[in-house]
């Protein structure tokens, strides 16, 4: 990890790239990196959605002044989050879709979101989230949906990591 980060720092310090960041770093990896980094990461991209809210990492990144970027912000279509009745009720009250409510929730938590869709109408819908605001009560209801349920493998699972990064 150290030499990859040094290479990124060199590119940054040579003015060839504007910012450097990490993905799927949790506290141990961040602590190791920050102990020797000359340039701090501006962003950490981690799985985050209403069923996996990443409360501890969210607070840690805030304290470290590293932006929390949510990958799989809509749950990657791997759960029923997009049809969750609590989210559907909030969506109906704001005349928005459930996806828009989820994206707005991320934004109001101060996160960067990178939803993916192959459909034009959904891409347009996913950016149309700046004309309404969730109330404190809405935010609290969504906070209550957390199941600490990952949609994908745990990036700190060394066996999975070795398998997924080793060429067959
Ligand atoms: N750093 C990492 O380890 C990591 C891992 C995974 C993903 N990512 C990144 O995260 C980003 C997004 O993640 P993702 O695609 O995995 O998950 P996602 O954005 O949470 O979910 C995408 C799924 O939601 C559907 N969808 C999108 N907008 C919708 C809407 N308005 N209404 C209903 N369904 C909607 C999409 O279907 P349709 O396409 O059919 O509309 C697709 O099935 C990508 O840029 C990806 O590269 C990063």
Q: Does any domain span residue 32?
A: no
What band does 158 get if pLDDT is binned at 50, 70 and 90?
Answer: confident
CA distances from 42 to 66, 77, 85 (A): 5, 28, 35
- The answer to whether residue 168 scores a pLDDT higher than 60 is no
Distance, CA of 102 to CA of 73 (rounded, Å): 8
Taking the model in full, what pTM does it have?
0.95
Q: Show the ligand 1 pocket: residues with CB < 6 angstroms.
A: 23-24, 45, 71-77, 82, 97, 99, 114-119, 122, 125-126
- The answer to whether residue 93 scores a pLDDT higher than 90 is yes
The residue to mutate among 45, 68, 71, 113, having the most atoms of ligand 1 within 8 angstroms of its beta carbon, is 71
Q: Does any domain span residue 127?
A: yes
pLDDT digits (tens, 9 = 90+) for 100-157: 999 999 999 999 999 999 999 999 999 999 999 999 999 999 999 999 999 888 888 8
Q: Does any domain span residue 134?
A: yes
Q: Does any domain span residue 104?
A: yes
Atom of ligand 1 nearest to the CA of 98: 32
Distance, CA of 80 to CA of 50 (rounded, Å): 11
pLDDT digits (tens, 9 = 90+) for 62-74: 999 999 999 999 9
Q: How many domains does the chain have?
A: 1
Atom of ligand 1 nearest to the CA of 100: 31
Q: Does any domain span residue 117?
A: yes
Atom of ligand 1 nearest to the CA of 126: 31
pLDDT digits (tens, 9 = 90+) for 17-27: 999 999 999 99
Distance, CA of 130 to CA of 104 (rounded, Å): 8
Can you give the pLDDT at residue 118?
Answer: 98
Ligand 1 centroid – CA 116 distance (Å): 4
Supply the range of the domain harboring residue 129: 74-150
């Amino acid at each position: 990890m150290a030499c990859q980060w040094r290479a990124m720092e060199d590119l940054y310090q040579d003015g060839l790239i504007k910012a450097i960041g990490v993905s799927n770093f949790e506290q141990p990896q961040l602590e190791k990196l920050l102990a020797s980094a000359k340039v701090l990461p501006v962003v950490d991209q981690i799985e985050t959605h209403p069923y996996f809210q990443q409360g501890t990492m969210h607070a840690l990144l805030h304290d470290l002044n590293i932006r929390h970027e949510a990958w799989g912000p809509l749950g990657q279509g791997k759960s029923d989050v997009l049809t969750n009745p609590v989210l559907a009720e909030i969506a109906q009250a704001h005349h928005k879709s459930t996806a828009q409510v989820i994206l707005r929730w991320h934004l109001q938590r101060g996160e960067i979101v990178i939803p993916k869709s192959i459909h034009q109408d959904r891409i347009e819908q996913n950016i149309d989230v700046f004309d309404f605001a969730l109330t404190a009560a809405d935010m609290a209801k969504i906070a209550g949906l957390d199941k600490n349920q990952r949609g994908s493998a745990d990036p700190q699972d060394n066996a999975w990591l070795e398998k997924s990064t080793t060429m067959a």
